[in-house]
Structure 1
Amino acid sequence: MEPKFEKFFTDFFKPEGADDALIDGISKRLDFKLPGDYLDVMRTFNGGDGEIGKNSYLVLFPINELIETNSDYELLMKQIPGFFLFGKDAADTGYAFRKTDLSYHSFGLMSNFKTDFITYISNDFEGFLNFLYMHA
């Protein structure tokens, strides 16, 4: 993991990292490529949860649970097929990649996308983490 990410994960439970065989196996089952900066962090620790800054809590789903988690949220995710859920907060906010450009977004996990919004956060994982660290 690059040093620039370390400040975000000081109060974070970090299980053992995902190996390349696991990442490759999951990646082959997806219809898009997972962001490289996100994968670099997941190689250091595969999922985890904890505080990011003073006001944010992040749950990163383990690589090996991503497909199952998106399936568990099928009723929600079929409304937004261009997005892929990778994490959530301690309440009901989900975090997802947009498959076409790998940008990072948030939305309510109980949303009706006819009336609720998907919020753009960042184009990269560092920006996403910085948003949580500074603003959420």
Structure 2
Amino acid sequence: MDESTKKYLTKINLNSSTTREVLQRTEQGLNIEFPLDYRLFIEEFNGAEGEIGPNSYVVFWSLIDIIELNEACGVNEFAPGLVLIGSDGGAAYAFDNRDDSKAIVEVPFIGMELDEVKTCANTFLEFLEFLYKL
């Protein structure tokens, strides 16, 4: 993980690393290839929880939780093409897997529908910057 990403993670509780095999199984199970910057983050830390910047609190789910919570939230039924990766408690954050850009989007848990999707960033680093500036 590069320093430009780590600077946003100083107040966040980081999990332990995971294996490339777990990452690949998760991607297969969700039918997605995560972007490289997120892959590096999730492989090194396998999730995190805490503050990013002065006003943002976020939970980045572990790989095991990603699969379970996408199923529990009914993503395939209510917002097909999204892959949820975390939350701020009121909204979910997801990769939009409907096209190759895989932008990171926000969608409400209640009323989860594709017309409620708001784009936050095009890369994981941009997403951390977005959260930092909220």
Q: TM-score, normalized by length of structure 1?
A: 0.90
What whole-Å deviation, never above 9, does each CA across 1:67-97 have from its counterpart, x for those lacking one?
11100101x55221011100001x3111000
Give the letter aligned to residue 64 of structure 2: N
2:52 corresponds to which residue? 52
- For residues 13 and 112 of structure 1, what CA distance do their matches in structure 2 show? 28
Letter of the structure 1 residue corresponding to residue 119 of structure 2: Y
Consecutive unaligned residues of structure 1, counting only runs of 5 or more, are none
Cα distance in 1 between the residues matched to 2:23 and 2:69: 16
The aligned residue for residue 102 of structure 1 is 102
In the aligned structure 2, how far is the partner of 1:51 from the partner of 1:16?
18
Aligned to 1:71: 71
* Aligned equivalent of 2:130: 131
Residues 131 and 80 of structure 1: CA distance in aligned 2, closer, same or farther (over 3 Å): same
- TM-score (normalizing by structure 2): 0.91
Which amino acid counterpart does residue 119 of structure 1 have in structure 2?
A: K
| 2:105 match: secondary structure | strand
Q: 1:34 to 1:54 in 2, by over 3 A?
A: same
Tell me, yes or no, if structure 1 residue 19 matches structure 2 residue 1. no
In the alignment, structure 2 segments of 5+ residues that lack a partner are none
Q: Displacement of 1:112 after TM fit? A: 5.0
Please tell me whether the aligned partners of residues 95 and 104 of structure 2 are also in contact (alpha carbons under 8 angstroms): yes
Work out the number of aligned pairs and report it: 132
8 Å Cα contact 2:107-2:113 kept in structure 1: no
The runs of 4+ residues in structure 1 deviating greater than 4 Å are none
